[in-house]
Amino acid sequence: MTGLRLLGIYVFSNDLDATLAFYRKVGLEVEKISDVFARATMPGGGMIEFGTDELTNSYDPGWIRPDGNSNNTINLELASREAVDSTFSALVNDGYIGHLAPCNPPWQARFAIVMDPDGNFVGMHSPRSFEDDRKRESD
C-alpha cells in the first residue's frame, strides 16, 4: 500500500510516572510532555507514546479501558546479548514481573520478556548473531 508506514505504538497507562520509570529502565529516552502524555522517539522516526485514561477520555468519551492482560508484545532491540540479561535482571530485581527469562530462541538473538506496570509484555531482543549459521555452512 503506497504511503503506509507505522507511525508508532500507543501504550495506555494507569500510572504514567510508574510506566515511564519502567521504560526508562529498559533504555528508552522518554519525554514527559504533560501529566497525561509522554513520548519516546525511536531511531528511524517511529514513536512509542504513553497516555492516561484522562487523556484518552478527553477526545474519546466512550472509551473504556480494556480488561485483562495484553495479548501483544512490544519488542525492543537492546545493544547486546549481555544487555538483555542485565536489563531483565535489573527489572526483576526492581519488582517487575519477568514473564520469560533470557533465552536463545531459533532466530539467533538473546530474548526475554518482562511485564510493564500496565500488564503489557515487553520483549527485549539482542541483535541477531549469525555465527551459528556460518559454522553450519562451513561444516
Compute how many other C-beta atoms are within 10 angstroms of the C-beta atom of residue 98: 15
45 pLDDT higher than 50: yes
Confirm if 22 and 15 have CB atoms less than 8 A apart: no
pLDDT at 88 over 80: yes
Per-residue pLDDT at 133 exceeds 80: no
Q: Is 70 exceeded by the pLDDT of residue 65?
A: yes
% the chain with pLDDT above 70: 91
Using CA atoms, how far residue 20 sits from 17, 27, 40, 77, 110, in Å, is: 5, 11, 10, 18, 24
CA atoms within 13 A on the CB side of 121: 15
Q: How far is CA 77 from CA 60, 65, 97, in A?
A: 32, 28, 19
Q: How confident is the model at residue 49 (pLDDT cuts 50, 70, 90)?
A: very high
Give the mean pLDDT of the chain. Answer: 88
pLDDT digits (tens, 9 = 90+) for 93-112: 999 999 999 999 998 999 99
Q: How confident is the model at residue 36 (pLDDT cuts 50, 70, 90)?
A: very high
**pLDDT for position 1:** 56
Closest residue by Cα to residue 102 from 82, 119, 128, 132: 82
Read off the pLDDT band of 63 (50, 70, 90).
confident
Full set of structural domains in the chain with CATH: 8-138 (3.10.180.10)
86 φ, ψ to 5°? -70, -35
